[in-house]
Amino acid sequence: MSEREMEEIKKLLKKSLPAMGDVELRRDLWPAMQQRLAQASVHVPWWDWALLASAGVAMWLFPATIPALLYHL
Amino acid sequence: MEVLEQFAAGDSDAFESLFRQYQGEVFRWIIRIVRNRATAEELTVETFWRMYRARARFDAKEGNFFGWMRRIATNAALDHLRCVRHEVELPEQLPDARKQVPAEQNELHHAIFSAMDRLSPRVRAAVLLALVEEEPYEDIAKTLGISVTAVKLRVFRGVRVLRKELSSGGVHP
C-alpha cells in the first residue's frame, strides 16, 4: 500500500470521524466513583454465601452441630 | 509523604485528589478510543476503580503514574470494545452530530462505521489514535505497551482491512 493510499483513507476517516481531542468532561464523576466504591465495600464474595449455605445445611441435617457452631462464633 | 505514596498506601483522600486532578485527562483519552460520551464517563470510573484496586502494586517512587493510568484506561477501553464488538455505535457522539448531514455523507458514515467494526479492538484503537486523533506513534506505543513498529503494523493492517471493506461496500477511497 502506498503512502498516497494511506493518506486517502486517513482523509476519509477524518471526514466521517472528527477528532475527539477537544471534547471536555461536562460533569464531576466523583459521585459516581464514590457509588462504585460503596458498592464494592458491601459486596459479599460468592464463597461466603456458599459457606453460609453449607453451615445451614449442616445445622439442618445434624442439629447436634448447632452448639458447636455457636461456640465457634 | 507525596500524594502518590499516600495513594499507594491506601489513603482515600489522596485517591480523591488524584481522581479530581486526572478524571478529565482519563476521559479525554478514553473518548478518543470509544467515541461515546456516556461510555467514556463509565469507563473513566472503571479506570479509577482498577487503579484503586491495583494501588498497592504501583511504585510511587519509581513508577510513571501518568503512563500507568493511561495504560489502565486503554485496557478498560479495549475491554469495552471487545464486549460491544459487532454492535455498530452510531455517530451520536460526534461533536457536530446535531447538524443535518446529507444522505450521501450519512451513507459514508455508515460505511466507515461498518468497516471499523470489522477491525479487532486493538487494531481499531491504533487506527483511531494514529489517523483520526493524530497522536504520535511513540505515545500510542507506550500506552499500548508495544513497539512503534508494532503500532505502525497495526495501523497498516487496519487501513488494508478498511480499504477492502469500503471497496466492497461501494466506497472507493
From the list B16, B95, B159, which residue is nearest A23 (CB)? B95
Q: Report the alpha-carbon distance of residue B112 to residue B128 in Å, rounded.
A: 12
Task: Provide CB contacts within 8 A for B130, sequence distance 6+.
Answer: B137, B140, B151, B155
Helices B103-117 and A3-16 cross at an angle (nearest 10°) of 110
pLDDT tens across B80-109, in order? 998 886 554 544 445 555 455 566 677 778
Positive or negative: CA dihedral B154, B157, B158, B159: positive
> Measured between alpha carbons, how far is B35 from B52 in angstroms, rounded to an integer?
25
Query: Which residues in chain B (99-118) have CB-CB distances under 8 A to chain A?
Result: 105, 108-109, 112-113
Measure the CA–CA gap between A39 and B45, rounded to whole angstroms: 13
> How close does chain A come to B63, measured CA to CA in Å?
24
Q: Would you list the DSSP string of B52-82?
A: HHTGGGS-TTTS-HHHHHHHHHHHHHHHHHH
Q: pLDDT > 90: what percent of chain B?
A: 58
Query: What integer best gives the mean pLDDT of chain B?
Result: 86
Rounded Cα distance between B76 and B78, Å, is 6
CB contact under 8 A, A20 and B95: yes
Q: Name residue, grid cell 503494523.
A: B153
pLDDT in tens, A11-29: 888 888 888 877 889 999 9
Calculate how close chain B gets to A44, using CA atoms only, in Å. 16
The top-scoring range by mean pLDDT among A21-25, A45-49, B31-35, B44-48 is B44-48
Inter-chain touch A24–B94, beta carbons under 8 Å: no
- The structure's pTM equals 0.77
CA distance A54 to chain B (A): 30
Lowest mean pLDDT among A40-44, B5-9, B18-22, B81-85: A40-44
Which chain B residues are Cβ-neighbours of A1 within 8 angstroms?
156, 159-160, 163
Q: Which of B20, B109, B134 sits opposite A16 (nearest CB)?
A: B109
> Do residues B145 and B138 lie in contact, with contact meaning Cβ atoms separated by under 8 Å?
no
Note whether B125 contacts A: Cβ–Cβ < 8 A.
Answer: no
Grid cell at residue B155: 495501523
Domains of chain B with bracketed CATH: 3-83 (1.10.1740.10), 92-168 (1.10.10.10)
Whether residues B95 and A22 touch (CB distance < 8 A) is answered with: yes
Q: Provide the residue type at A52 as one letter.
A: L
A12 neighbourhood in chain B, CB within 8 Å: 108, 112, 166, 171, 173
Interchain CB contacts (distance < 8 Å): A and B:
99
